[in-house]
Amino acid sequence: MSEKNPYGAPDTGHVWDDSLRELTNQPPKWWMIGFHASWIVVVVYSILYPTWPLIDSHTKGILNWTAMGEYKEDMKSIEQMRAKYEDRIPGMSVEAILADSDMTEYVKRSAKVLFGDNCAACHGSGGQGNPNFPVLADNDWLYGGEINTIQTTINGGRMGMMPAHSKILTSEQIDSLANSIVEGTVASNPLFTEKGCFACHGADGKGNHAMGSANLTDKIWRFAAKDQLTSVKYTITHGVNDPSDPETRKAVMPTFGGGKLSETDDKK
């Protein structure tokens, strides 16, 4: 053990590697101030707020503060702010709401939250539509885009039906119709009239809002796919919501009325 101590500082007598000596100097004053301040803060905090766990509970603190209590207080203030709008909504029609700029702004902001909670899983966070679900950000509507029609869709849901044509059409006829649909010229295909497609989709192939039948000429696809021709053939073959075909496409818009959502929720 080395006895070298050039500065004459008090030490414990412990030396490592013949050069590292353990001194007994006091820490700097700033460090000591910080140390004592830290334990004082802990003690004060423990007295004021819930801190230490007990066998079946915890210390409450003299302020009786809880995170849930603070949350409820915050929610109460938010509800008080919203009440002046929410109390008016049940007695207003959608037209009356849209005619009131303040109410319109309120329901738009509220609808963003409702949409994220209830609709985005199918229709995408921006209404762009997830695969095999309708796009809500365009102006293409199966049942019509009027505000009352949209409200009806939200309240009551939708479940359109297209019969499977695998037993009605040959594969060649399905190919012919699918190609003309993809090209946007289906109304000029003789099969469109001969096989009765016009009864649902209209003589011009542009659909029927009353039936929720798709526009076959606009090249906007309800069921998106990389190979759109194959997708259209599949829809013609197996239909949509056809109980007679186990491979039919499923397309159901659930009911959101009856208190599940605000009647003013603005969605397609």
For residue range 164-182, what is the model confidence (pLDDT) as tens digits?
999 999 999 999 999 999 9
Query: Are residues 47 and 108 located together in one domain of the fold?
Result: no
151 within some domain: no
8 within some domain: yes
DSSP conformation class of 26: P
- DSSP line for 182-234: HHT-GGGSHHHHHTTTHHHH-TTS--BTTTTBPPSSS---SS--SSHHHHHHH
131 within some domain: yes
Name the nearest CA neighbour of 262 among 45, 148, 107, 156: 107
Query: Are residues 2 and 57 located together in one domain of the fold?
Result: yes
Query: Are residues 13 and 54 located together in one domain of the fold?
Result: yes
pLDDT in tens, 27-36: 889 999 999 9
Give the number of domains in the chain. Answer: 3
pLDDT at 87: 92
Q: Which helix (H) or strand (E) holds 87?
A: none
Query: Are residues 53 and 9 located together in one domain of the fold?
Result: yes
Name the nearest CA neighbour of 218 among 122, 161, 123, 142: 142
Q: Which residues of the chain carry a pLDDT beneath 70?
A: 1-7, 259-268
Is the whole-model pTM more than 0.85? no
Alpha helix (H) ranges present in the chain?
29-48, 67-86, 94-99, 101-118, 120-123, 147-156, 171-183, 190-194, 198-201, 228-238
pLDDT at 250: 93
**End position of a domain, from candidates 66, 87, 116:** 66
DSSP conformation class of 249: B
Query: Are residues 92 and 54 located together in one domain of the fold?
Result: no
258 within some domain: no
158 within some domain: no
91 within some domain: yes
4 within some domain: yes
pLDDT at 266: 41
Query: Are residues 132 and 94 located together in one domain of the fold?
Result: yes
Q: Which domain holds residue 85?
A: 78-140
pLDDT in tens, 77-119: 999 999 999 999 988 999 999 999 999 999 999 999 999 999 9
- The set of residues, in sequence order, having a beta carbon less than 8 Å from that of 178 and lying 6+ positions away, is 229, 232, 233, 236
Is residue 216 within 8 Å of residue 206, measured between CB atoms? Answer: yes
Q: What's the rounded Cα separation, in Å, for the pair 61 and 47? A: 5
Q: Fill in the amino acid letter for 88.
A: R
CA angle 41, 42, 43 (to 5 degrees): 90
How far is the first Cα of the chain from the last one, in angstroms, to the nearest whole number?
A: 86
Distances from the Cα of 33 to the Cα of 43, 44, 46, 173, angstroms: 16, 16, 20, 89
200 within some domain: yes
Is residue 159 within 8 Å of residue 241, measured between CB atoms? Answer: yes
Distances from the Cα of 158 to the Cα of 113, 131, 199, angstroms: 22, 18, 20
Query: Are residues 1 and 60 located together in one domain of the fold?
Result: yes
